[in-house]
Structure 1
């Protein structure tokens, strides 16, 4: 037989322990692991991480990378990470919100990075993803492309690839596709003059 008085007593005790506030939401194992990963972040220079939905929603992350070497120096690239509750057993879903001319990022923002697919292991973390994304800008990979045209240019004519990247980052057209201007230093200068 169910003892209703005992259950009511437990509820009153729980309410007293939370000082009238609703009880805290129980965190999933993925959220607990994510707290640990965030506490241990060691980001590359010129890399920022934010939580667009506030500190109560760590499962949605925004990362801004500003490569300091390679073809993409001077650019600022924004990525969103949606961390699933099953993290770290499944990798976060990563999208590039900056339209970029890149062999490993298509025009819809999908990212081709092996650790986000078949090479993901639970020992990997957010820091690993950030360094992997950063490496894509330092050493784009023409052997596993999402943008096959950009990969072919990188492989066959690296100087033309460099010009195409600069044109795209400056807000120009590459192969009849318009890219918005996203040079970091110029954006900083423009906001300073306003």
Structure 2
């Protein structure tokens, strides 16, 4: 029987210690067949996305914490930081990554982008333009996109 990679031991410890924004509710799920991925569901209680839940697959690379975790949104969402394939733009998982960060930082980042829409590095420029020029229409369209979700429908693009 092989040893458990240090990256998975660290992530296990981190998940036991996760603290969240008091406004949010979260759920974690580990896949026994894919120990390098954590499913994270964020239940939003305030703002444009109030009363909506979004699930993310957070891929933990074998060289974690030297390389950042990569979050993917598993359902379609109208958001400047999430593209149509579910890729998420969080600076902390790109050029700002440091091994002193952990999955807790990624979780805070995922929560934060729903409460304050980042405008500096959008993946979905059309969503950002709509938000800037017509916030009411953006809010309505974001709700419509969420309402059209078929339960358990997910992107299958984690590549």
What TM-score range do you get, normalising by the shorter chain? 0.7 to 0.9
Q: Which runs of 4+ in 1 moved over 2 A?
A: none
* Equivalent of 1:52 in 31, 47, 56: 31
Q: Which structure's CA Rg is the greater one?
A: 1
Q: Distance between the aligned counterparts of 2:126 and 2:37, measured in 1?
A: 31
Q: Distance between the aligned counterparts of 1:73 and 1:83, measured in 2?
A: 28
Structure 1 residue 108: Cα displacement: 0.3
Q: Give the TM-score taking structure 2 as reference length.
A: 0.86
Tell whether the 8 Å contact from 2:78 to 2:145 is kept in structure 1 after alignment.
yes
Q: Give the TM-score taking structure 1 as reference length.
A: 0.71
Aligned residues: 149
* Equivalent of 1:71 in 41, 48, 56: 48
Structure 1 residue 157: Cα displacement: 1.7
**Highest RCO, 1 vs 2 (Cα 8 Å, sep ≥ 6):** 2
Structure 1 gaps, min length 5: 1-22, 172-179, 183-194
Q: 1:14 corresponds to which residue?
A: none
Structure 2 gaps, min length 5: 152-159
Q: 2:102 corresponds to which residue?
A: 125
Summarize deviations over 1:48-69 as a string: whole Å, max 9, x none: 1111236xx5421000011111
Higher helix proportion (structure 1 or 2): 1
User: What do you get for the CA RMSD once the two structures are aligned?
Assistant: 1.6
Summarize deviations over 1:128-184 as a string: whole Å, max 9, x none: 11111011111111221111100001112212211111221222xxxxxxxx257xx
Q: Distance between the aligned counterparts of 1:136 and 1:124, measured in 2?
A: 18
Q: Distance between the aligned counterparts of 1:128 and 1:80, measured in 2?
A: 15
Q: Distance between the aligned counterparts of 2:126 and 2:101, measured in 1?
A: 31
